[in-house]
Structure 1
Amino acid sequence: MKSWLFSLLIISGLAFSFSSCETDFDTTTEYKDITVVYGILDQKSDTQFIKINKAYLSETDVLTYAANPDSNQYINDLEVKIEEFSDQGNLLDSHILEKTTVTNKEAGQFYYPDQIVYFWKPDSPIDVDYIYLGDNLVDSALIWFDEEHTYKLSITNPASGKVIASETNLVKEFRITYPSVQRTIKFLKNDNSSKTFSWNDADNAGKYEFELRFNFRELLTTGEERSRYIVLSKASVDASNNTSEYEVYYKDLNFYSTCENLIPYDDQAAEDQVSQRFTGLVEVLVRAAEENLSLYMEVNEPSTSIIQEKPQFSNVDNGIGIFSSRYYEKRLIELDDPTKNELINNEDPNYKFVY
């Protein structure tokens, strides 16, 4: 009985996994040279990564093959480039990717800790996205790509002459519309009210992921300071052609129950190392996945059906995998004084907030 085993590495810095394009792949054919590609362009990252692996068909124990780098990686160097085209279809630039080795892959069935990736560092940013707290500038993010351009990936294997190709649009800029310019946010402890968070539609986006975080600092008994955050809420929202703005709701009461459940460490020994905690900013984070990435995520979600066979998706010609893009926006808000006081005056001795 032959078994297919594909290896894809989702690099931690890329992790926003989001499948069908016209590119078909027949898993019943004999193995020759199946190239597996994973690459997500991130407009706010100064380094772009492309992971290129091999898929293989084996008569023997697939786990033995999975643990062998030679079964998953191309031994010879590949020629990898990303070409940049204008909205009129004119070639503007060609970027050659370099090969490097990441050394922090966690232990598992596939080979570790070293894996080969290809990377490209754009020469210079084209814009800056400024992040404000009220009217005060508190952060910024450099923009490295022109959202009007199309990016085409080409991978050539000199040993075989095989060429693998794909292309992607970029998710265009969008904005978090609420909260807008307000400086503080209040969570009412004994109230059933909800907060609304919203953002406008982004061209070329197929899915949005909303995340609400609470940042804080810890002072340890050693005198060291440590930054932490907890996730208050997460939501996945599909893009719609009929929607110009998206909303999610968060109940005020959930803020306090989530803090009580997640801030003190489960390990009492770890909690005993914390002498004080200090409140930080609430972070509203919205990530947008390009349409092909959204489809890829959908097809690769765990099945809830009794039918385990799921359709394959790839937008990679002469290979399988995904080449797409993502974009994110964030907004920072400070807790108001009454909310801070609720945390400071909490009766749980493990809370330890002093500000």
Structure 2
Amino acid sequence: MKNLSLLFVLAVILCGSACETDFQLEGEWEDIPVVYAFLSEQDTAYYVRVEKAFLQPGGDATQLAQIPDSIYYGVDDVVVALERVTNGQKYTLQRVDGRTEGYPREEGNFANEPNYLYKLPRSVTRLRGGDQFRIIVDRGGQTAPAIAESTIIDSIEVAGLPFSGQLGWGEYARDGKIEWRYYGPGARVFDLRVKFRYRETDPANPAIRIDKEVTWVLNKSVERVTDQVSTQVYRFPSEAFYQFIGSTLEPLNTGTRKFDAVVIEVTAAGPEIEDYLRIAGANIGITSSQAIPLYTNVTGGVGVVSSRYKSVSAELSLDGRSRDSLFNGSYTKLLNFVP
């Protein structure tokens, strides 16, 4: 699983990724809904990506992918609904252009304008941890709808932070750690990241410092270790933190840098993402066939519908030893960090 990213799946949903080409089929014409949703109780609106995957015999997939009508359903051709499984209440989602919602589509094989998504504001109904939901894509007529079901995962939180608010990652030979707690059974796989915030001298105006940030990806898919409500710990060599900074930042020609803060981010995803990553990861390696099997939990279509939750720590500082390693350590001493 370590070669695949939990957050890559989220990018597929909102921004669109080449992953969708897995579902381009050539043969007799067949209308196949492609459905992605990655919902969270933290959302202010719930978004679902719905497209169609087909290739007419002899067609050119590269050309068709650049034609919006080839990948999107017409506005009146499909109805996308969210259903609460416990009481059967259904809510119709409205088609919107992701670009105006803050989700532009990434440049790639597919047309990036427009970027149609289906939206349900949280003001209409609010999903909370433990709520079962169903996404229904109805194309009308005698065609069976595409349906996927999942459960909103309960909250997680970054845990085990020092009371002082200062991280002790200064000794290269010792391990640092990221710790988090989960409160329900749904969170199954975790993405761990550390944001390093600093300021550096503006070359155009030395009296001003520019706010900057780099993100260290520790692990993209850490599996849950127990089904109980528990705290999980991920350990890493403290030295790796400074190696990342040293390999990411370039020395300054003039001016200095000042450290501001470290922020820890843990993102959890549901069992569908765990299954997706495991099935794909199991077939990657020197002994594999290199043919990644298709995972989907969408009946009558293809795609992945699941849930996520993100926890972000408060801004943390570095203790004296950690600052000394940043200012004077072998990996970062040439980066002009000053007290």
* TM-score, length of structure 2 as denominator length: 0.78
1:227 corresponding residue in structure 2? 212
1:336 alignment partner, one of 319, 329, 332: 319
With over 3 angstroms needed to count, the CA separation of the structure-2 counterparts of 1:9 and 1:235, relative to structure 1, is closer
8 A Cα contact 1:39 1:324, kept in partner: yes
8 A Cα contact 1:208 1:236, kept in partner: yes
- The whole-number CA distance in structure 1 between the counterparts of 2:38 and 2:217 is 26
Equivalent runs, 1:182-261 vs 2, <5 Å: 182-189=164-171, 191-201=172-182, 202-222=184-204, 223=208, 225-231=210-216, 233-234=218-219, 236-241=221-226, 244-261=230-247
1:10 and 2:12 aligned? yes
Name the SS of the counterpart of 1:228 in structure 2.
strand
Tell me which amino acid in the other structure corresponds to 1:227: K
8 A Cα contact 2:26 2:55, kept in partner: no
With over 3 angstroms needed to count, the CA separation of the structure-2 counterparts of 1:180 and 1:145, relative to structure 1, is farther
8 A Cα contact 1:40 1:324, kept in partner: yes
1:325 and 2:307 aligned? yes
- The whole-number CA distance in structure 1 between the counterparts of 2:44 and 2:92 is 15
1:134 corresponding residue in structure 2? none
8 A Cα contact 2:197 2:211, kept in partner: no
Deviation at 1:160, TM superposition (A): 6.3
2:267 alignment partner, one of 254, 262, 287: 287
Deviation at 1:310, TM superposition (A): 3.2
Deviation at 1:188, TM superposition (A): 2.2
With over 3 angstroms needed to count, the CA separation of the structure-2 counterparts of 1:124 and 1:63, relative to structure 1, is closer
Deviation at 1:211, TM superposition (A): 2.0
1:176 alignment partner, one of 147, 158, 167: 158
Tell me which amino acid in the other structure corresponds to 2:175: S
- The whole-number CA distance in structure 2 between the counterparts of 1:205 and 1:343 is 35
**Structure 1, unaligned stretches of length 5 or more?**
1-7, 18-24, 126-143, 266-270
- The whole-number CA distance in structure 2 between the counterparts of 1:232 and 1:118 is 30
Deviation at 1:116, TM superposition (A): 1.1
1:353 and 2:331 aligned? no
Count, aligned residues: 310
Aligned-residue identity in percent = 20
Tell me which amino acid in the other structure corresponds to 2:181: N
- The whole-number CA distance in structure 1 between the counterparts of 2:43 and 2:199 is 26
Tell me which amino acid in the other structure corresponds to 1:53: E
**Structure 2, unaligned stretches of length 5 or more?**
1-9
* TM-score, length of structure 1 as denominator length: 0.75
Tell me which amino acid in the other structure corresponds to 2:173: N
More helix by share: 2
- The whole-number CA distance in structure 1 between the counterparts of 2:129 and 2:333 is 50
With over 3 angstroms needed to count, the CA separation of the structure-2 counterparts of 1:319 and 1:9, relative to structure 1, is farther
- The whole-number CA distance in structure 2 between the counterparts of 1:156 and 1:284 is 41
Deviation at 1:119, TM superposition (A): 1.4
